[in-house]
Structure 1
Amino acid sequence: MDAKKAAYCDDLKLIKQGAEAKVYKAEFLGRNCIVKERFPKKYRLPEIDEKLTKKRLTQEVRALQRCRKAGIATPAIYFTDLVGSVIFMEEIPGCTMKDFITNNSHEKLSDKVVCAVEKIGEILAKMHNADIIHGDLTTSNMILKTSEQNDGPIIYMIDFGLSQSSSLAEDKGVDLYVLERAFLSSHPDSEDLFEKLLQSYKSFSKNCEPVFKKFEEVRMRGRKRTMIG
């Protein structure tokens, strides 16, 4: 991050770098925050890269705002720099759902694990009810924050960099399939746990039948690719 962008915040510390962006921890106007910076792709024409980067940044901000409007916990956005391709957002204290499930792998079907996983199903159903497609669902992109009121887990959805708006059952089915693949890869022998997630999704979805039909179709295509190699 260059000096101009860094001037917005203090104590900038790189914590993650992915294919699309760098993620920093920092302080913004006296508050701890997460800074996400999309960087240029050398393999793309500059004008195309700039247009695509701005589009994805805008989509991410809109998805975060739409989720909050739909009652889904996401980090608050403090500031967006479209020119510098940077988002400054709330830092959520807690652990990822991946760490939570892994750390409780000895009791996968315990009440606390099942409750958290069912909450994921509820959140995804509400997202899809609002036609929000995450695009990169994994348990690493969910942060578990324990409620001080003891009224159940609060799960924050993060990393909407590949999100889009779509009412198509196909896109929602693919969203579920991506999560299933990531879930079973990160948490082996957890098929029963994921089934509870799907049942919760079904309970909160306004129109789950076409979504589940597409989900099964995508599953079958995935299995065929695996068999063929």
Structure 2
Amino acid sequence: MEEIGRGAEAVLYREGNSVVKAREKKSYRIPEIDEELRGFRTRREIKVIKKVAKLGIPTANVISENENERKFSMQFLEGPKLRDILDRGNYREYCR
């Protein structure tokens, strides 16, 4: 797996035609709270992605979920990153 992104909460890896999003443990949190937060946020993100897809909005499909490891994989989509497009100030074209 090749790391393709890192944020405050998770690391993104490219694996073939999919992306794996893994939420890492935070050593500064109480372990029980950390487990609960990471699990909740992972479940919530998967739920939102699936709801958006049902509404007909193009999105990456969730391929697999691993709640115990606080990670999931989704389809890799070719093209520019959304944040790069929105940074150009033309976000209204995409947010109709």
TM-score in terms of structure 2 length: 0.88
SS at match of 2:72: strand
Q: Write the distance in 2 (CA, Å) between the matches of 1:101 and 1:43.
A: 33
Structure having the higher helix fraction is: 1
Q: Which has the larger radius of gyration?
A: 1
1:23 to 12, 26, 31: 12
How far does residue 98 in structure 1 lie from its aligned partner after superposition?
4.2
1:36 to 16, 21, 25: 21
Aligned pair in 2 of structure 1 residues 95, 45: CA closer, same or farther (>3 Å)?
Answer: same
Aligned pair in 2 of structure 1 residues 101, 88: CA closer, same or farther (>3 Å)?
Answer: closer
2:92 to 105, 113, 117: 117
1:95 to 64, 80, 86: 80
Which consecutive segments of 4 or more residues in structure 1 shift more than 4 A? none
- Equivalences for 1:132-143 in 2 at 5 Å? none
Give the gaps of 5 or more residues in structure 1. 1-11, 109-113, 123-229
Equivalent position amino acid for 2:56 in 1: G
Aligned pair in 2 of structure 1 residues 98, 62: CA closer, same or farther (>3 Å)?
Answer: closer
Structure having the higher strand fraction is: 2
1:78: which partner in 2?
63
SS at match of 2:25: coil
Aligned pair in 2 of structure 1 residues 98, 88: CA closer, same or farther (>3 Å)?
Answer: closer
Q: Write the distance in 2 (CA, Å) between the matches of 1:71 and 1:96.
A: 20
Aligned pair in 2 of structure 1 residues 48, 117: CA closer, same or farther (>3 Å)?
Answer: same
SS at match of 1:99: helix
Percentage of pairs with the same residue:
30
- Equivalences for 1:1-20 in 2 at 5 Å? 12-20=1-9
SS at match of 1:74: coil
Equivalent position amino acid for 2:12 in 1: V
Q: Write the distance in 1 (CA, Å) between the matches of 2:59 and 2:24.
A: 23
Which protein has greater RCO, CA pairs closer than 8 Å, 6+ apart?
2
How far does residue 17 in structure 1 lie from its aligned partner after superposition?
1.2
TM-score in terms of structure 1 length: 0.39
Number of residue pairs the alignment of both structures matches: 96
Per-residue CA distance 1:113-145 (angstroms, 9 max, x = gap)? x6x732x222xxxxxxxxxxxxxxxxxxxxxxx
